[in-house]
Structure 1
Amino acid sequence: MKVRSTVVAAGALALCLAAAGCGPDGSEGKGPEKTAAASRTPAAGPTDAVDAGTPVPAPSGSGRTLTQAQLAGVVLRTGEVKGYGIAPLEGTDERGTEEPEDEACRPITAIINGSPEPAPAATVFRTATDTTEEGRDDQTVVTEILTSHPEGGAEELLRSVRDAVRACAEGFRTTSDDGPSTYTGVQALPAAKAGQESFAYRVTGSLEGAEVPLVFHLVRTGPTVVTFYAANFLTAKAPEIPAALVTAQAAKLP
């Protein structure tokens, strides 16, 4: 199954998550209530300043928190997964501002904002795009957020997200600079085995009366976490994050 998503025209085909919002047909959302499909998503900014072609120091070794340059050095590159182009996530430099009404759902909301908690020591954003589907409105686009954490932070991130998925199964609401958002359900999903921990879940949003499924897959190796993210703005069918991307990225983590 293909990951169906609306993509922006410029740059690295980032998912259509601009502040103005996108309807399931790619049009601007007009209603006052938005979901993650209408929230700001992070872009390559000050935390992602290392160019993909710039030599970087070797990773510091398993168990150590990677620096910004080291984290950029272990991210996937074009050619490492057949048929996928890897590029910095382009667009706005701002992170999402969603605040959950229920504190138990904060770990999920933080990831939707592009700011996983606890706060990482370094963050790198990338998009992985299926180049064989160029020009299609259902082109496979997966966002990657790589984060390195101080001691215990990566384990806490996975643990808190698991707890939030259970606590927020019936859905939750948030408020942000762009208005309120509604998520109608959260459920754990089968996850491809990768790294030391692997956990996947689906969040279902509501945009102009249409379901917008968002799928997340977190992989932890030592103090490094990779969060994969895909959305479907065309139908209510949940997207899939290709296992080849997950396993290839996990294999590069020290």
Structure 2
Amino acid sequence: MRVRTTVVAAGALVLCLATGCGPDDGGEKGPGDKGPGGKATASASPTAAATPEADPEPVPTSDGRTLTEAELARVALTTGELPGYEIAPLQGAGKRGTEKPDDAACVPITAIINGSPEPAPAATVFRTAMDTSQEGKDDRTVVTEILTSHPKGGAEELLRSVRDAVRACADGFRTTGEDGPSTYTGVRALPAPNAGQESFAYEVTGSLEGARIPLVFHLVRTGSTVVTFYAADFLTDTAPEVPAALVTAQAAKLP
């Protein structure tokens, strides 16, 4: 099924069309693992159903410290916490992009397209969010979430560097990577919902075989944690929506 979606991987525009960019159909994949796209399921084996549930892990408190990967996973949204949305691990999250821009000022933007925000995070967790009201539609929107935790000052630096790059790269830039060159014809800031301690949104216009591919990003920071929401539209040249309800609900879980 073709969807309005995104993928964090080398040659993001080409790979997304090839794979369908669906969510993982099970647990999070390790580095280099691949699996078919599919809808997350709540079914369990009889043996698993008979096992008593462990007490839930406590959500980390807001003390400004750098969260571990396990703590990031606990603050990520899950299915049922935001009505109308299905949350799942991202398929192929172990594969990161290799794009490098021709203009050093555009590195922060390219790093996020690669799925490796800079400054380098201490831990990273990937999720996808799908609007269940669109189930069965050919143009179903899938939003990727990249949750990252950073050493002291790193989260603030990430937001600051991205803001600077959006201004510096407004006229577009080119990149090269393992899958060849990519062209981005423009970058512009967008209105951002009031969420977290600071938030910022922007659009990058990609080009695939002459077609305009809008990529939309929302970044939200609370303490040392940043969540990047990422969506693309491969069917039309209309900028996809990253729902404000999704952004604010995820931001509300950040410690």
Q: Do Structure 1 and Structure 2 share a fold, with TM-score over 0.5?
A: yes
Identity %: 72
Larger Rg: 2
Distance 1:92 1:162, change over 3 A: closer
Check 1:172–1:22 CA distance in 2 against 1; reply closer, same or farther (3 A cut).
Answer: closer
Give, in whole Å, the separation in 2 of the partners of 1:129 and 1:136: 12
Query: What pairs up with 1:209-228 in 2 under 5 angstroms?
Result: 209-228=210-229
In structure 1, distance between residues paired with 2:61 and 2:232:
34
AA aligned to 2:250 is Q
Per-residue deviation, residues 10-67 of structure 1 (Å, max 9, x unmatched):
xxx97367767767xx965xxxxxxxx99xxxx94448xxxx9984353143311111
d(CA) in 2 for partners of 1:58 and 1:213? 35
Task: Specify the alignment match of 2:122 in structure 1.
Answer: 121
Q: Which residue of 2 aligns with 1:133?
A: 134
Q: Within 1, Cα distance between the matches of 2:6 and 2:203?
A: 16
Matches within 5 A, 1:1-254: 6-7=2-3, 15=6, 44-46=28-30, 55-91=56-92, 93-254=94-255
- After TM superposition, the structure 1 stretch with the greater mean CA deviation from structure 2, 163-172 or 132-141, is 132-141
SS in 1 for 2:140: coil
Distance 1:223 1:183, change over 3 A: same
1:205-249, CA deviations, whole angstroms, 9 ceiling, x for partnerless residues? 000110000000000001100000010111111111000000000
Counterpart CA distance in 2 for 1:232 and 1:105 is 22
- How far apart are 1:133 and its partner, in Å? 1.1
Deviations 1:132-155 (A, max 9, x none): 211211112100000000000000
Q: How many residues are treated as equivalent by the alignment?
A: 228
Alpha carbons of structure 1 residues 123 and 92: separation in structure 2 relative to 1, 3 Å: closer
Kept after mapping to 2: 8 A contact 1:6/1:15? no
Residues 1:18 and 1:135: Cα distance change in structure 2 (over 3 Å): farther
Q: What secondary structure is seen at the aligned counterpart in 2 of 1:227?
A: strand
Equivalent residues of 1:57, 1:69 under 8 A apart? no
| TM-score (structure 2 length as normaliser) | 0.82
Residue identity in the other structure for 1:77: T
Which structure 1 segments of 5+ residues have no match? 8-12, 29-36
Mark the CA change 1:14 to 1:216 in structure 2 (over 3 Å): closer, same or farther.
closer
* Cα distance between partner residues in 2 of 1:27 and 1:230: 14
